[in-house]
């Protein structure tokens, strides 16, 4: 039987690998365009909606756990992870088939947009290990550590998905369809 220490070391290794590999792969694929591919212009509103749904579910999951509904909380959180993966796949697919869209706003709104965008990107990278660590604590049965990590993971994840919707709303007038 595998000891908890061995499981934890294996999980930490996978978290490290995924936390490095996912942003690198996304960056590489973001720069690659599929030759002669029809742009998947229908995806941005779908993946923005996916972020919005994830935001709502994160809040519902917190309410569920505060009411002692652990199974519901766990199911919702797995759903949030799945939705975040679906977002990532759609985001990559869109950017592999379509040219980047530049923000066309001016003045103070340009600064607001770039602040939101940059903070969103930086925290979307940081959230990967946070979600994986928080989830792994539950997998290992360390609910005290899970709760401790969730205090940081939840607000950052919520910020990432909400700002994803905000970025979409701010840039959507400039998409070429």
Mean of the pLDDT values across residues 138-159? 96
With CA atoms as reference, report the closest residue to 89 among 58, 59, 50. 50
Does residue 157 register a pLDDT over 70?
yes
Mean of the pLDDT values across residues 35-40? 93
Q: Supply the pLDDT for residue 1.
A: 59
CA dihedral 116, 118, 124, 126 (to 10 degrees): -120
If one compares 80 and 30, the residue with the highest pLDDT of the two is 80
CA distance 143 to 137: 6
pLDDT tier for residue 30 given thresholds of 50, 70 and 90: confident
Report the Cα 97 to chain-centroid distance in Å.
Answer: 21
Percent of the chain surpassing pLDDT 90 = 88
Mean of the pLDDT values across residues 152-166? 98
pTM for this one? 0.93
Does residue 7 register a pLDDT over 70?
yes
Helices 70-97 and 43-66: crossing angle, nearest 10°?
160
CATH no., domain 4-34+41-174: 1.20.120
Does residue 21 register a pLDDT over 90?
yes
Mean of the pLDDT values across residues 71-92? 97
Does residue 63 register a pLDDT over 90?
yes
Does residue 65 register a pLDDT over 80?
yes
pLDDT tier for residue 177 given thresholds of 50, 70 and 90: low
Q: Supply the pLDDT for residue 133.
A: 97
pLDDT tier for residue 129 given thresholds of 50, 70 and 90: very high
């Amino acid at each position: 039987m595998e000891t908890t220490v061995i499981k934890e070391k294996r999980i930490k290794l996978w978290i490290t690998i995924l936390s490095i590999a996912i942003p690198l792969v996304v960056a590489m694929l973001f720069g690659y365009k599929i030759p002669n591919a029809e742009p998947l212009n229908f995806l941005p509103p779908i993946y923005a909606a996916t972020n919005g749904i994830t935001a709502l579910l994160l809040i519902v999951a917190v309410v569920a756990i505060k009411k002692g509904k652990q199974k519901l909380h766990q199911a919702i959180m797995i759903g949030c992870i799945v939705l975040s993966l679906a977002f990532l796949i759609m985001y990559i697919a869109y950017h592999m088939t379509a040219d980047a869209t530049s923000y066309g706003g001016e003045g103070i709104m340009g600064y607001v947009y770039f602040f939101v965008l940059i903070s969103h990107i930086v925290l979307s990278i940081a959230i990967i290990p946070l979600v994986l660590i928080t989830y792994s604590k539950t997998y290992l049965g360390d609910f005290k550590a899970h709760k401790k990590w969730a205090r940081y993971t939840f607000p950052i994840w919520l910020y990432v998905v909400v700002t994803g919707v905000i970025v979409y709303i701010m840039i959507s007038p400039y998409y070429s369809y």
